[in-house]
Amino acid sequence: MTTVSVHQFRDNLRQYADLATKNHEPVTVTRRNGGDFVVVSMDDWLSLEETLYVLQNKSLMEQIEASIKTHNKGKGRLLSQKELDEINRI
């Protein structure tokens, strides 16, 4: 993660915006009196929100845990190539 002062950020806004959006690298912006902040791309922010939602949802986490156990036992269902193709078109 790149860390810059608010003055560097302001003077080079385009460069740091590109770093966050094109390289998906968060940029930490520090301020002399505190109140630091982080700049991330919209895609990264939405991904983080989705991850937090899943992690906070007990039912989903239980389903994931059950799936991992089934997979580790080698008893999971194998999808056909047709089913995989249908999923990947979503």
State whether 63 and 81 are in the same domain.
yes
**29 with 50, same domain?**
no
Give the per-residue pLDDT at 77: 83
Question: Does one domain contain both 67 and 80?
Answer: yes
Each residue's pLDDT tens digit, 24-43: 999 999 999 999 999 999 99
For every residue of the chain, which 3-state class applies, written as one string?
CEEEEHHHHHHCHHHHHHHHHHCCCCEEEECCCCCCEEECCHHHHHHHHHHHHHHHCHHHHHHHHHHHHHHHCCCCCCCCHHHHHHHHCC
Same domain, 84 and 49: yes
CA–CA–CA angle 4, 49, 52 (5° rounding): 110
28 and 50 both lie in a single domain: no
Total domains in the chain come to 2
pLDDT number for residue 17: 97
List per-residue pLDDT tens for the chain, 90 residues long. 999 999 999 999 999 999 999 999 999 999 999 999 999 999 999 999 999 999 999 999 999 999 999 989 988 888 899 999 999 986
84 with 72, same domain: the answer is yes
Same domain, 35 and 61: no
| CA-based radius of gyration for the chain | 20
Note whether 48 and 81 are same-domain residues: yes
Question: What's the domain range around 28?
Answer: 2-41
